[in-house]
């Protein structure tokens, strides 16, 4: 009977962890971009999608994540994440981020696109580097063209 309890506990734990929908750390230098297949090395421009089933898609740039969305059923996506420009390796909610496109901040795929957790941080860097600010929806419309 004791063995059966352990067996059920193990199954419940397996179900709990297999349904966990959360970001996964990017292994810079080892993980590849799901869209362009390049190795992810840039710690300020990477991005990640987490589906409602917990599947992780990693990208070397936010622009790769957005281009990937054109070929994917976006109703399956739970989390859109981008690296925070001011805190390398830190993933932030892309849908709530402020984006800066500045020719003075190169990104891996040439869109010059950087994400910021706050509009204040984005405006500060914009004043130093120039460029144009976008919300998530404005960015999607901009890159759609």
List pLDDT tens digits, range 69-118.
Answer: 998 999 999 999 999 999 999 999 999 999 999 999 999 999 999 999 99
Determine contact, residues 140/77, Cβ cutoff 8 Å.
no
- The proportion of the chain whose per-residue pLDDT surpasses 90, expressed as a percent, equals 82
Query: Rounded to whole angstroms, what are the CA distances from 24 to 27, 50, 68, 121, 129?
Result: 9, 9, 18, 25, 31
> At how many degrees (to 10) do helices 62-69 and 136-144 cross?
70
Residue 24 has pLDDT above 60, yes or no: yes
Q: Tell me, what's the pLDDT at 144?
A: 84
If pLDDT is split at 50, 70 and 90, which confidence band does 10 have? low
Per residue in 30-43, pLDDT (tens digit) is 999 999 999 999 99
The token pair that represents 127 in the structure block: 């004043």
Residue 15 has pLDDT above 80, yes or no: no
Q: Tell me, what's the pLDDT at 33?
A: 97
Distance CA 94, CA 37 (A): 21
Overall average pLDDT of the 130-140 stretch: 97
Using alpha carbons, select from 51, 49, 85, 54 the residue that is nearest to residue 64.
49
| pTM of the predicted model as reported, rounded to 2 decimal places | 0.85
Following CA atoms 81, 84, 90, 92 in sequence, which dihedral angle do they give, to the nearest 10 degrees? -30
Distance CA 121, CA 86 (A): 8
Distance CA 75, CA 129 (A): 36
**pLDDT higher at 14 or 99:** 99
């Amino acid at each position: 009977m004791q063995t059966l309890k352990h067996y059920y506990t193990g199954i419940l734990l397996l179900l709990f962890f297999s349904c966990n929908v959360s970001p996964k750390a990017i292994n810079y230098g080892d993980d590849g971009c799901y869209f362009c297949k390049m190795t992810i090395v840039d710690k300020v421009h990477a991005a990640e999608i987490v589906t409602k089933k917990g599947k992780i898609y990693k990208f070397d740039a936010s622009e790769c994540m957005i281009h990937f969305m054109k070929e994917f059923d976006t109703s399956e996506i739970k989390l859109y994440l981008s690296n925070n420009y001011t805190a390398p390796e830190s993933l932030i909610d892309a849908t709530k981020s402020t984006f800066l496109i500045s020719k003075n901040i190169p990104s891996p795929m040439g869109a010059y696109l950087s994400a910021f957790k706050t509009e204040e941080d984005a405006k500060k860097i914009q004043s130093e580097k120039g460029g144009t600010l976008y919300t998530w929806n404005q960015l999607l419309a901009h890159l759609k063209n």
